[in-house]
Amino acid sequence: MPDTNIAQPLRRQVLLSILVLFVFGTLPVILIGTTSVDRIDRKAAAREKSQAVAAVERRFERLAVEQRNATVWDEAVGKVAVADTAWMENNVGVWMQEYFGHDMSFVLDPALTPIYAAAELETRSPDAFDQVEGVVAPMAASARDMILQGDIAPEEIAVTSYVTLATGPAIASVVPIIPDTDALDVVPRSTHFHVAVDYLDDTYLAAVTEGLALAAPSIDTRGGSRHGVVAMKDARGTEIARLTWRPSAPASDLVAAMSPALLLWLGGGALLVFFLARRLIGTSYRLQASEAHARHLAFHDPLTGLPNRALFEDRLGQALAMADRGGADVTLLMLDLDRFKAVNDRLGHPAGDELIRQVGERLASRIRRSDTVARLGGDEFALILVGDVDAAAFDAFCKDVIVDISRPYDLFGEAASVSASIGASRARPGEDAGELIRCADIALYQAKDKGRERHCVFVDGMGARSPMQGRWEQAHSFTWIISTMGFILH
């Protein structure tokens, strides 16, 4: 018969040893697991906030950029000087609201007196300026002072600020109306000004969070939120609104989902510890894959898979830098589809998207590995050709591209056809990306003026164009000057 006096202490000793080993084996795992979960959640929250800050800043700066599409223009200077209401409605008022989604538009004379007003897609009495005068008048005065002092180039002057109106928080921007050529000699004191107002409403929220995976985003004017926050402050530094959302906590969500397994692990031991570790490693891999996917989306067009404007500008800059150091020559082609709108209107947006995707495939099949084809937005594409190409071969290449683009398309069972116009420019020593793009753009306008479905190579002296050409350029060129923020290329 076993000695119970010995068995009981031995049992207690074994149980105590197992308990001590389990506790000291479990506590570090729990501590490490808790720390890892917190670090992953903090990293995810920091990444979300960085992306949200960049999106808010882009939207803030975009307002003045959109205004300049119609305010840096010889014709605009002349029309506002004579207070042509119909022209202002169709170019800097109702049209601008329809095209860019602005909520209010005003034109002020040199004395900062309103001569035109538009709101809710309708031309209003200039007295409508009274609704915003209290916050906008000081901004307009500041812009006028900049013009008169002459320390800043007129085309770079913009006074933009978050403001509080009777209707709620908004972004207001004041830019001067100035010529885009030397044909007009405008005295600074006779400068008119354009005012644009964009409410921080649901439309703004949808635009600023587009492409961001934010949970329950909202514009909060009350403060006190414990969620993710990007503050929007007026010129005096006073917070008038904030973008809020519920920060993602991928690791915490994972732990919550695994709570039954964690309970089993506490009673089961090493097998479930191994399972938990493997799951955490798998989660880490998934997070890294998600981050890599997000980086890819940041620099590629989601419809065609081609490089977007940000990656295009980076590659163009790199190609020009290499050319300046004695590398291969660089040729830029700007391609615009002809009659795309007719196809889009006739067959609908899904068919239009499919056509854009097929055009991207055809263009990608035409270039070498050293070249780049990018979609800049809408029906605009760009090709960067790196290497020496003689004139005859280049001419044949452009013609082949146009022929290829002009072949019929099968769009969900419906046949459709478009053509293409190409503007090209060869980089000259020391020429920067902006100048090369401008020259190719001018050549593109020339190709369109000559009947479309053709290509044109930029030559010196080609810059002159008619008022109709200038009007077309101002209506579309905003996509060339919107900068992409929040990402750094490596």
β-strands 414-416, 419-426 pairing: unpaired
The owner of tokens 């937005």 is 377
CA gap 350, 356 in Å, rounded = 10
379 is catalytic: yes
Catalytic residue among 180, 198, 314, 379: 379
245 bridge partner residues:
228
Give how far Cα 182 sits from Cα of 73, 114, 186, 464, Å: 11, 27, 9, 11
* Whether the Cβ atoms of residue 329 and residue 426 lie closer than 8 Å to each other: yes
CA gap 369, 392 in Å, rounded = 21
β-strands 455-457, 419-426 pairing: parallel
Which residues are annotated as catalytic?
379
